[in-house]
């Protein structure tokens, strides 16, 4: 049984194949319209979501399959005290594949241990978010045509931002990638995320100032400060507006920069930037549906 809990569960070859399948889906969607007929995806969201849940559901519908699930823990038996293990054993009676988001780090690993169908981690606390990373990689491939040799700036809440953790893990496996990690001191990337960078001798620098590094970047990946992971509201209020990308700041950037954001945006990208052709974040949201279609096909072992 194949589960996707972190990017370590996919080889580089498999990531490249998923991207290639997504590109084929974009060109020939009709070919895939019946691919998952009579298959059911369960979306178990114990935490809020707009893009991840709805793109998973749209993906399954566009493959001809069906969807069941819940969008908040309060409407599931978790509210009555049911364990993740028991919920998963139950859902496996009804669904062929599960996408699960949970506020506790490691909950999808527990789920996978008890599952008889594939489990996909759709975000676990401040830990990992592998399908957002697949979305990001497809976006980079479509916008830039390559991963190799890019300077990638990651900016904002690098401590709690799970999308950043998974993206670093995946991109450092492609040659010539260099990271510029921009955050306040308190929101620096956790040391476990830097282990693959150190082991692979992947170049990276850490900085607190976005404007000074902006001219070097090929990709700027902005993130919101993750309010729900803070222990103290005062700390959140103090840090929430650490970085706000404005047209004035963008004047320092390369003409070919790609501005990405997993969304939701709070304040960190001025809405004036949405009109700039370098802003990719809504194209990125669309790409999330295509790559999740490819992932569902792979895990259900459906060939088209
Ligand atoms: C991200 C997440 O849930 O981690 N959103 C998403 O899935 N697109 C980013 C965030 O919530 O800030």
For residue 242, the CA-to-ligand 1 centroid distance in Å is: 18
- Give the separation between CA 217 and CA 182, rounded to whole angstroms: 12
- Give the separation between CA 12 and CA 287, rounded to whole angstroms: 19
Task: Encode the chain (304 residues) as per-residue pLDDT tens digits.
Answer: 899 999 999 999 999 999 999 999 999 999 999 999 999 999 999 999 999 999 999 999 999 999 999 999 999 999 999 999 999 999 999 999 999 999 999 999 999 999 999 999 999 999 999 999 999 999 999 999 999 999 999 999 999 999 999 999 999 999 999 999 999 999 999 999 999 999 999 999 999 999 999 999 999 999 999 999 999 999 999 999 999 999 999 999 999 999 999 999 999 999 999 999 999 999 999 999 999 999 999 999 999 9
- What residue's CA is closest to ligand 1, atom 6? 262
Q: What is the CA radius of gyration of the chain?
A: 19
pLDDT of the residue at 239: 96
For residue 263, the CA-to-ligand 1 centroid distance in Å is: 6
pLDDT of the residue at 200: 92
pLDDT of the residue at 168: 98
Nearest Cα to Cα of residue 140 among 99, 177, 107: 177
Closest ligand 1 atom, residue 226 Cα: 12
Closest ligand 1 atom, residue 285 Cα: 8
Overall residue count recorded for the chain in this entry: 304
Q: Is 66 exposed, middle or buried (0-12, 13-18, 19+ CB in 10 A)?
A: middle
Partners of residue 42 on adjacent β-strands? 68, 98
For residue 145, the CA-to-ligand 1 centroid distance in Å is: 24
According to CATH, the topology of domain 7-128+288-299 is Rossmann fold (3.40.50)
Q: Is 24 exposed, middle or buried (0-12, 13-18, 19+ CB in 10 A)?
A: middle
Q: Is the CB of 263 within 6 Å of ligand 1?
A: yes
Q: Is the CB of 123 within 6 Å of ligand 1?
A: yes
What are φ and ψ of residue 46, in 5° steps? -90, 5
For residue 16, the CA-to-ligand 1 centroid distance in Å is: 23
- Cis peptide preceding 45, ω within 30 of 0: no
pLDDT of the residue at 138: 98
- Give the separation between CA 251 and CA 201, rounded to whole angstroms: 32
The reply to whether 130-284 shares the fold of 7-128+288-299 is: yes
User: What predicted TM-score, i.e. pTM, was given to this entire model?
Assistant: 0.97
User: 130-284 belongs to which CATH class?
Assistant: alpha beta
For residue 31, the CA-to-ligand 1 centroid distance in Å is: 30
Nearest Cα to Cα of residue 128 among 233, 9, 224, 263: 9
Handedness of CA 85, 86, 87, 92 (dihedral sign): positive
Cα dist from 213 to 147, 152, 218, 292, whole Å:
20, 11, 11, 33
Q: Is the CB of 22 within 6 Å of ligand 1?
A: no
Domain boundaries, the chain: 7-128+288-299, 130-284
Partners of residue 108 on adjacent β-strands? none
């Amino acid at each position: 049984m194949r589960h996707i809990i972190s990017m370590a569960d996919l080889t580089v070859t498999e990531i490249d194949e998923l991207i290639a399948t997504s590109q084929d889906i974009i060109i020939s969607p009709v070919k895939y319209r019946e691919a998952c007929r009579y298959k059911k995806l369960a979306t178990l969201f114990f935490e809020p979501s707009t893009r991840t849940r709805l793109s998973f559901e749209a993906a399954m519908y566009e493959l001809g399959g069906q969807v069941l699930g819940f969008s908040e823990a309060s409407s599931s038996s978790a509210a009555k005290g049911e364990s993740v293990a028991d919920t998963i054993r139950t859902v496996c009676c009804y669904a062929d594949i599960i996408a699960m988001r949970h506020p506790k780090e490691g909950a999808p690993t527990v789920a996978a241990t008890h599952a008889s169908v594939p489990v996909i981690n759709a975000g676990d606390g401040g830990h990992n978010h592998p399908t957002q990373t697949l979305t990001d990689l497809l976006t980079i491939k479509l916008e830039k045509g390559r991963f190799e040799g890019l300077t990638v700036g990651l900016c904002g809440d690098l401590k709690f931002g799970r999308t950043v953790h998974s993206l670093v893990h995946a991109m450092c496996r492609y040659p010539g990638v260099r990271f510029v990690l921009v955050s306040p001191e308190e929101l620096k990337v956790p040391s476990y995320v830097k282990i693959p960078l150190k082991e692979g001798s992947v170049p990276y620098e850490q900085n607190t100032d976005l404007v000074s590094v902006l001219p070097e970047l090929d990709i700027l990946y902005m993130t919101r400060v993750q309010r729900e992971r803070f222990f103290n509201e005062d700390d959140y209020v103090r840090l929430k507006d650490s970085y706000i990308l404005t047209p004035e700041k963008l004047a320092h950037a390369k003409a070919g920069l790609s501005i990405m954001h997993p969304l939701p945006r709070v304040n960190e990208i001025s809405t004036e930037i949405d009109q700039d052709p370098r802003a990719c974040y809504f194209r990125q949201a669309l790409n999330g549906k295509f790559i999740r279609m490819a992932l569902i096909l792979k895990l259900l072992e459906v060939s088209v």
